[in-house]
Amino acid sequence: MIGYGFMGAAHSQGWRVAPRFFDLPFEPRMSVIVGRDAARVEAAREKFGWESAATDWREVVAREDIDVIDICTPGDSHVEIALAALEAGKHVLCEKPLANTVEEAERMTLAAEKAAEHGVRAMVGFSYRRVPAVAFARQLIGDGRLGTIRQVRAQYLQDWLVDEDGPMTWRLDKDRAGSGSLGDIGAHAIDMVQYLTGTVLDSVSGTMHTFVTERPLLGESVGLSGTASDERGRVTVDDAAWFTARLSGGAIGSFEATRFATGRKNALRVEISGSAGALAFDLESMNELQFYDATEPAGQQGFKRIIVTEPEHPYMDSWWPTGHALGYEHAFSHEVRDFVLDIAAGREPSPSFADGLQVQRVLAAVERSAADGSAWTSTVPSTRK
C-alpha cells in the first residue's frame, strides 16, 4: 500500500478485517506500506499492522513477491504509480478520483484494459458503493420498484473548512488534488447516482465558488514545528460546487458538493424519484434506507424506514445479528472482499478504471461549464482524428 494518511488507515482496516469475516479464496498478506518519510511510515506500519515499511514505491512495485498495489496517495501521483504497477503485472486498487485530469484517467484506463488481457485487474475505490443500504437500494431499483426514474437529488455536505483560519492542506492545492469539493466529495455523489440508476450523466451545467482564498501554512511548510504559521498560502480549488445534470436514461438531477455546510459533518444524501416509488439515503444514517412505494393504496402510502441489517441484505450475512449497526470502516472491508473475489474469478472489478474515467469526465465538464458560463456542457469525449 502506497500512502499512510487518512485513506491509508481506512484501507489498512479493510485489508486486515476482510479475511477474518469473509471466506476469501486468497489470504491477503499486508506485506509493505510505503511513504516518503521513513520515521512516519514506520510508525504507520506498526500502528496499522503491516509487515514492513519502505520509502521507494518503485522498488516495491518491482518486487516479485508483491501481487497487489493499493494507491492511497494524493491524486497527482495516481497516474505514475498505477501505470508502473500495471506494467509490472500487479493488480491495482486506486483511491478516487481516479486521476487529476481526464487525460491522466484515459491513460490509466487504457493501461488497465491492456493489463486485463493478461489477467491483471484494476479497480477504483468508490467505497460508498459497498455500504449495505446503498447496495440494497441498487437492488430495489434494478427490480423495478421505482418504475421509471425521473429525478435525482444528490448532496455531499461537510463543514471542516468553515473556519477561515483553518490551515492549508494538500486538498486545497489544485496541482496535488485536481479540484476541491467537486472532486474530493462530489465525485462520490456522481458515482453513487450512476451506480444506483445504471445510467451516466450526459451533460451538466454548473457553478463553483471559493469562499476563503488564503489560509495559514502549517509550520512544517516553512521549516517550523507543524503548527500554523503567520504565512498564508493560496487556495486554488473550489470550496463548493453546484450543478444540474441530464442522465442518459432521461432523468434530470441536481448535485451539490461543499465543505462549507456548517453543522454537516459527512452528509452524503441521495434521493431518487420514479414513477412507481422513491428512495432516500443519508450517510449520516448509513444503516437506514427510506423507501416509498407509490403502488400501495393511498391511505397506506408514506416513506418507510428500512433498517438494513438483515442477513438478506448485501454483505450483512457475515457480520452481526440483526439490528447491530455497521460503520464507515466496513465499506473498506467490503471493497477488499469484492476485489479479492474478482481477482480470483478473473473478472473485471467494479467500479473499473473506465467507471472512474466517466466520473472524471463529469468533473471536467462541470469545471468547464462553471468557467465559461455554459448552459450545458457535454461529458461525452469529442471524436479525435
Q: What is the CATH number of the domain that holds 231?
A: 3.30.360.10
Give the whole-angstrom CA distance, residue 203 versus residue 188: 17
Q: Is 132 helix (H, G, I), strand (E, B) or coil?
A: helix
169 found inside a domain: yes
- pLDDT at site 350: 98
Domain end among 128, 158, 178: 128
12 and 46 in contact (C-beta within 8 Å)?
A: no
Q: What is the CATH number of the domain that holds 29?
A: 3.40.50.720
71 found inside a domain: yes
Q: Give yes or no: residues 272 and 148 share one domain.
A: yes
352 found inside a domain: no
- pLDDT at site 224: 38
Q: Give yes or no: residues 122 and 186 share one domain.
A: no
Q: Give yes or no: residues 136 and 123 share one domain.
A: no
Give the whole-angstrom CA distance, residue 220 versus residue 53: 23
Percentages of the chain per state (helix, strand, coil), in multiples of 5? 40, 25, 40
- Residue 37: alpha-carbon gap to chain centroid: 26
- Domain span including residue 11: 6-128
Kindly state the DSSP code that residue 52 receives in the 8-state scheme: E
- pLDDT at site 218: 84
Return the number of other C-beta atoms located less than 10 Å from residue 261's C-beta: 20
Residue 192 exposure: Cα atoms within 13 Å on the Cβ side: 32
Q: Give yes or no: residues 272 and 160 share one domain.
A: yes
Q: Is 222 helix (H, G, I), strand (E, B) or coil?
A: helix
Return the number of other C-beta atoms located less than 10 Å from residue 344's C-beta: 12
- pLDDT at site 290: 98
366 found inside a domain: no
User: What crossing angle do the helices spanning 6-21 and 38-48 adopt, rounded to 10°?
Assistant: 30
- pLDDT at site 373: 84
353 found inside a domain: no
Give the whole-angstrom CA distance, residue 189 versus residue 198: 14
Q: Give yes or no: residues 120 and 161 share one domain.
A: no
Q: Give yes or no: residues 149 and 246 share one domain.
A: yes
Return the number of other C-beta atoms located less than 10 Å from residue 134's C-beta: 22
Q: Give yes or no: residues 153 and 51 share one domain.
A: no
Give the whole-angstrom CA distance, residue 244 versus residue 338: 32
377 found inside a domain: no
The DSSP result for 60-98, as a single string, is: HHH-TT--EEEE-S-GGGHHHHHHHHHHTT-EEEEESSS
Contacts (Cβ under 8 Å, ≥6 apart) of 203? 245, 246, 365, 376, 377, 378, 379
Give the whole-angstrom CA distance, residue 246 versus residue 26: 42
- pTM score: 0.94
Dihedral sign of CA atoms 196, 197, 202, 203 in order? negative
For residue 277, which phi and psi values (nearest 5 degrees)?
175, -175
Q: Give yes or no: residues 167 and 289 share one domain.
A: yes
361 found inside a domain: no
Number of independent structural domains in the chain: 2
Q: Give yes or no: residues 19 and 80 share one domain.
A: yes
Q: Which residue has the cell 457535454?
A: 378
Give me the tens of pLDDT residue by residue for the chain, a chain 385 residues long: 999 999 999 999 999 999 999 999 999 999 999 999 999 999 999 999 999 999 999 999 999 999 999 999 999 999 999 999 999 999 999 999 999 999 999 999 999 999 999 999 999 999 999 999 999 999 999 999 999 999 999 999 999 999 999 999 999 999 999 999 999 999 999 999 999 999 999 999 999 999 999 999 985 543 334 566 679 999 999 999 999 999 999 999 999 999 999 999 999 999 999 999 999 999 999 999 999 999 999 999 999 999 999 999 999 999 999 999 999 999 999 999 999 999 999 999 999 999 999 999 999 999 999 999 877 889 988 764 3
The DSSP result for 247-288, as a single string, is: ETTS-EEEEEEES--TT-SSEEEEEEEESSEEEEEEGGGTTE
- pLDDT at site 220: 52
Q: Give yes or no: residues 14 and 57 share one domain.
A: yes
36 and 2 in contact (C-beta within 8 Å)?
A: no
Q: Give yes or no: residues 111 and 176 share one domain.
A: no
205 and 253 in contact (C-beta within 8 Å)?
A: no
Domain end among 79, 107, 128: 128
371 found inside a domain: no
Of 13, 6, 2, the residue nearest 327 (C-alpha): 13
The DSSP H or E segment spanning 138 is: helix 132-142
Q: Give yes or no: residues 61 and 151 share one domain.
A: no
Of 169, 160, 161, the residue nearest 74 (C-alpha): 169
Domain end among 104, 128, 152: 128
The residues with which 246 forms a beta bridge, in sequence order, are: 203, 252
